């Protein structure tokens, strides 16, 4: 039977539609596979998180796992934590956000908290050393203060290492941008469309289009945030001081690390634009020079708080080279960056008089 022109047109349209669906399905499968190979999970890794009804904190789902991330029964990334803590053991706790959680590295053993613990264990081989990675993506200092009192303190850490800056900086500068009328109230967070919530392919398309737009704006736009760097971080200083003092109430050794980032003043404008990609995604109203000045100011506050509270200062944040070998984006480490960060932290902690006194006490004063 010979088909009419209309019937041929309908069949052709159906065939083209099915081919488009097939191609999109294959593309979705390809990006899902790439996601799994690179990060150890399919789709959005938000599935690893829940809201704790008791504390109201966003936390990790107990015993959740992906190919590269394993959550223990207490809801922290890393190996099981023995409770109650065995007498004589030395326990480290790490407080921070995504840059301490380290979702971008290739496994639990390459997060810098795990690597620091290994270095400490090697240095004090006669004492059993374990750790709790109390970091959570999205946390600001105030979140870590709540997390410390509700979830970390009962684990009785002997050493607390704090690494915060970028989320508090984003929060503060967004508020300033809204106040100056250059950032809309509803633009405070990048909202996903319905398709982006259900398709990783579409999510990546939306994210990359948005990223391209903010990169263009960073070069072309005239409406940029105006601020005096020396006036930034008033609330950050107050809350970081509170966190350090609270940590010192439960732990004999508290260390503060200045914040490392990929964008550097000595880079060319083109290099800075690439290095600042993720920071501009969340702070699209910032200039490249403004980002460098803001991070510098926050690091000065971290150093001041360490001095004022008697905490150990882990400085020399530029020891981690500002390149794509060490940074996955503006602030998150690759495996290589995590290794350098771990060396930076463990070297400062091990050399401190406070830590040496702690080890001596663990050994019975001998």
What's the CATH class of domain 45-172+225-362? alpha beta
Ordered by start, the domain boundaries in the chain are 1-39, 45-172+225-362
Is the pLDDT confidence value at 206 over 90? no
Average pLDDT on 237-263 reads 97
Torsion (CA) 51, 57, 61, 62 in degrees, nearest 10: -130
Residue entry with tokens 């940590």: 247
Q: Given this model, what pLDDT does residue 42 score?
A: 45
Alpha-carbon gap, residue 59 to 72, rounded angstroms: 12
Is the pLDDT confidence value at 205 over 70? no
Average pLDDT on 120-142 reads 97
Q: Given this model, what pLDDT does residue 228 score?
A: 95
Q: Given this model, what pLDDT does residue 130 score?
A: 98
Is the pLDDT confidence value at 187 over 50? no
Q: Tell me the pLDDT tens digit for each residue of 85-119.
A: 999 999 999 999 999 999 999 999 999 999 999 99
Query: What pTM value is reported for the model?
Result: 0.82
Confidence bin at 270 (pLDDT 50/70/90)? very high
Alpha-carbon gap, residue 284 to 296, rounded angstroms: 18
- Report percent pLDDT > 70 for the chain: 78
Q: Given this model, what pLDDT does residue 202 score?
A: 46
Confidence bin at 214 (pLDDT 50/70/90)? low
Q: Tell me the pLDDT tens digit for each residue of 354-363.
A: 999 999 999 9
Q: Could you tell me where the beta strands, DSSP code E, fall in 113-249?
A: 129-133, 159-163
Alpha-carbon gap, residue 334 to 345, rounded angstroms: 16
Q: Given this model, what pLDDT does residue 29 score?
A: 58
Q: Tell me the pLDDT tens digit for each residue of 8-61.
A: 666 677 666 666 666 655 555 554 555 545 555 444 556 788 998 888 999 999
Mean pLDDT of the residues in the chain: 86
Residue entry with tokens 């999205």: 138
Alpha-carbon gap, residue 64 to 94, rounded angstroms: 20
Q: Given this model, what pLDDT does residue 201 score?
A: 47
Q: Given this model, what pLDDT does residue 6 score?
A: 73
In 3D, which of 63, 271, 247, 37 has the Cα closest to residue 158? 247
Q: Residue 62: CB partners within 8 Å, gap ≥ 6? A: 71, 72, 73, 74, 75
Q: Given this model, what pLDDT does residue 18 score?
A: 67
Residue of 332 and 214 predicted with greater confidence? 332
Confidence bin at 83 (pLDDT 50/70/90)? very high
In the DSSP assignment, the letter for residue 77 is: B
- Report percent pLDDT > 90 for the chain: 69
Element (H, E) at 90: strand 90-96
Q: Given this model, what pLDDT does residue 19 score?
A: 67
Cα angle at 46 between 147 and 344, to 5 degrees?
55
Q: Given this model, what pLDDT does residue 60 score?
A: 92
Q: Residue 229: CB partners within 8 Å, gap ≥ 6? A: 293, 294, 296, 297
Confidence bin at 211 (pLDDT 50/70/90)? low
């Amino acid at each position: 039977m010979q088909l009419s022109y209309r019937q041929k047109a309908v069949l052709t349209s159906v065939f083209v539609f099915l081919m488009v669906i097939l191609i999109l399905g294959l593309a979705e499968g390809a990006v899902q596979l790439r996601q799994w190979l690179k990060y150890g999970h399919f789709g959005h890794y938000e599935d690893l998180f829940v809201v704790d009804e008791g504390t109201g904190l966003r936390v990790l789902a107990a015993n959740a796992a992906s190919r590269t991330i394993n959550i223990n029964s207490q809801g922290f990334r890393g190996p099981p934590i023995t409770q109650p803590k065995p007498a004589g053991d030395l326990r480290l706790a790490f407080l921070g956000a995504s840059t301490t959680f380290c979702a971008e590295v290739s496994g639990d053993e390459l997060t810098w908290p795990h690597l620091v613990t290994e270095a400490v264990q090697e240095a004090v081989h006669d004492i059993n050393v374990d750790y709790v990675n109390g970091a959570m993506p999205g946390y600001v200092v105030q979140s870590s203060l709540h997390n410390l009192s509700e979830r970390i303190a009962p684990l009785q850490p002997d050493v607390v290492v704090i690494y915060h800056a970028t989320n508090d900086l984003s929060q503060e500068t967004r508020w300033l941008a809204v106040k100056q009328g250059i950032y809309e109230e509803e633009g405070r967070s990048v909202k996903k469309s319905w398709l982006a919530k259900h398709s990783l392919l579409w999510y990546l398309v939306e994210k990359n289009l948005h990223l391209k737009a903010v990169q263009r704006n960073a070069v072309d736009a005239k409406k940029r945030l105006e601020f005096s760097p020396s006036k930034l971080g008033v609330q950050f200083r107050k809350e970081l001081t509170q966190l350090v003092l609270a940590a010192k109430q439960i732990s004999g050794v508290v260390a503060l690390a200045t914040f490392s980032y990929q964008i550097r003043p000595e880079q060319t404008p083109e290099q800075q634009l690439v290095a600042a990609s993720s920071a501009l995604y969340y702070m699209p109203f910032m200039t490249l020079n403004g980002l460098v000045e803001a991070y510098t100011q926050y690091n000065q506050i971290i150093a001041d708080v360490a001095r004022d509270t008697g905490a150990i200062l882990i400085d020399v944040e530029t020891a981690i080279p500002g390149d794509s070998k060490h940074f996955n984006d503006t602030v998150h480490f690759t495996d290589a960056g995590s290794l350098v960060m771990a060396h930076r932290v463990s070297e400062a902690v091990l050399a401190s008089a406070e830590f040496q006194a702690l080890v001596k006490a663990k050994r019975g004063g001998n």
